Amino acid sequence: MSRTFQFFAVRIDATKGEAFITDGDHLHLRSVLRLKPGGPVLISDGKGSLYHAVISEIGSEMTRVHLLSPVSWNPESPLVVTLIQAMPKRRKMEWILQKSTELGVTRVVPVFSDYSVPRFSGERERRKQERWNQILREAAKQSYRGIIPELAGITSFERIIKLREASLKILCAPEGEVPLRHCLEGVGKISDILVAIGPEGGFSPSEIALARSRDFIICTLGPRVLRLETAVVKVLSVLQYVLGDG
């Protein structure tokens, strides 16, 4: 069975049953996938809605599609998850953004923490943000998301910890007092959660103390030492299984 590809529309006219695809998605549809008029696609408005559609016309700069019906499933989790991710080494952030999108994250906030090795700003930061947003977009399409997760600008761990609030706030650290599963027991219905994950060296004692003072629960992920990427997948998977739609 062939895969139905998803695209984000720049404009959806629900009254006329039409949507329009431009820019990178249009070029990918036309020149890479080589889709043809009459072919089935999935169309999202980027705000949570997802439609079955067929291609009506492929032009030089735009593709027009005819909307058929909303999809029969809800592509978005009821749990709003904000991932506070301390900057890792090399290109691990790209992998984290991709997998966290597939696992239903709503917002990602990259932060510089005490043990973060990479440090950059200005033009280099702008280029990284551009690249990261593209990764989020492609991962959202691949996983049939109705939205593209929001990517915040890079900030300091101290600043974001003081600003962000949520129904439940968790920081993952080997020195955590409570296993993750116990953090989630008896919490009832929760609509939003903040989860902070450190870089390869973890969070510093002062950062953990600050998070604790801001009502974060300091959780451990078990007796085994996990790679950073594994920790992200484990935490988000457990959150969706217990509190979301997974």
Considering the chain, what is the average pLDDT of its residues?
89
Percent of the chain with pLDDT over 90: 50
- Identify whether the C-beta of residue 130 lies closer than 8 Å to the C-beta of residue 24: no
Tell me the mean pLDDT in the region 152-180.
88
**Is residue 193 pLDDT above 80, yes or no?**
yes
For residues 159-174, give the mean pLDDT: 87
pLDDT at 119 over 80: no
Q: Around 217, how many Cα atoms within 13 Å sit in the side-chain half-sphere?
A: 20
**Are 6-70 and 80-243 the same fold in CATH?**
no
- pTM to 2 decimal places: 0.88
CB-count exposure of residue 152 (10 Å: 0-12, 13-18, 19+): middle
Q: Output the pLDDT for position 186.
A: 75
CATH of domain 6-70: 2.40.240.20
CATH 3.40.1280.10 matches 80-243: yes
Question: Of 69-83, 127-141, 176-190, where does mean pLDDT reach its minimum?
Answer: 176-190
Mind listing the pLDDT tens digit for each residue in 45-92?
A: 888 888 999 999 999 889 999 999 888 888 888 999 999 999 988 789
* pLDDT band at residue 208 under the 50/70/90 scheme: very high
Mean pLDDT of 1-17: 82
Residue range 203-232: average pLDDT?
91
Is the per-residue pLDDT at 125 higher than 90?
Answer: no
Q: 99: how many CB neighbours lie within 10 A of its CB? A: 17
1 falls in which pLDDT band (50, 70, 90)?
very low
Q: Where are the domains of the chain?
A: 6-70, 80-243
Q: How sure is the predictor about 170, in pLDDT bands with cuts at 50, 70 and 90?
A: very high
* Amino acid found at 222: G
Convert the pLDDT of each residue in 16-40 to its tens digit. Answer: 889 999 988 899 899 998 999 999 9
What's the CA gap between 45 and 75, in Å, rounded?
A: 12
Distance CA 160, CA 85 (A): 11
Does residue 2 carry a pLDDT above 70? no
Across-strand partners of 129? Answer: none
